[in-house]
Amino acid sequence: MVTTQVPLDDIWRWLSDVPDPEIPVISVVDLGIVRDVQWDGDTLRVTVTPTYSGCPATAVIDMEIEAALRAKGIEHVTLKRQIAPPWTTDWLSDAGRAKLEAYGIAPPRPAGGPARCPRCHATTVERISQFGSTPCKAQWRCKDCLEPFDYFKCI
């Protein structure tokens, strides 16, 4: 059990090891859903904004954040869900975008589609379906390597 307030930089570093349950290559920090971390006396308050209000992974994310902090000795943790302002793909970190692409998921772009295939990097891609393996992804295919891939939708 931690009896003193751990520096917030340490807390952020610990949270950067908590993976998103739907895309485990990216952390909840890289995803941009951890909005704030503050001490209130001996209670650590973590503010989380889900990617969208109906995200089925929200409860799992909250449990994983709390478990990670408790494993580090933080006994009193309060999670606050903040839905305004709503999450946007602009909150993804540059490191998170790179991790997505290295994992085979094209990162979001304001233009509405992937710039290139995350596998072979060809720019000749086509949309197969607006709906992918999760609500936040669409299914695309590369016309060069012919491989399908997920595209993280721009929100």
Residues 12 and 84 in one domain: yes
108 and 85 within one domain: no
Please tell me whether residues 28 and 72 are part of one structural domain. Answer: yes
Quick one: 84 and 61 in the same domain? Answer: yes
Can you give the residue range of the structural domain that contains 139? 104-152
- Give the span between the Cα atoms of 69 and 119, in whole angstroms: 35
95 in a domain, yes or no? no
Q: What does pTM read for this prediction?
A: 0.86
Q: What is the pLDDT along the chain (155 residues), one digit of tens a residue?
A: 665 799 999 999 999 999 999 899 999 999 999 999 999 999 999 999 999 888 888 999 999 999 999 999 999 999 999 999 999 999 999 999 999 999 999 999 987 799 999 999 999 999 999 988 888 899 999 999 999 999 999 88
Q: Does some domain include residue 22? A: yes
List, in order, residues 6 or more apart from 25 with CB less than 8 Å away.
Answer: 19, 99, 100, 102, 103
Number of domains the chain contains? 2
Confidence at residue 2, expressed as pLDDT on a 0 to 100 scale: 61
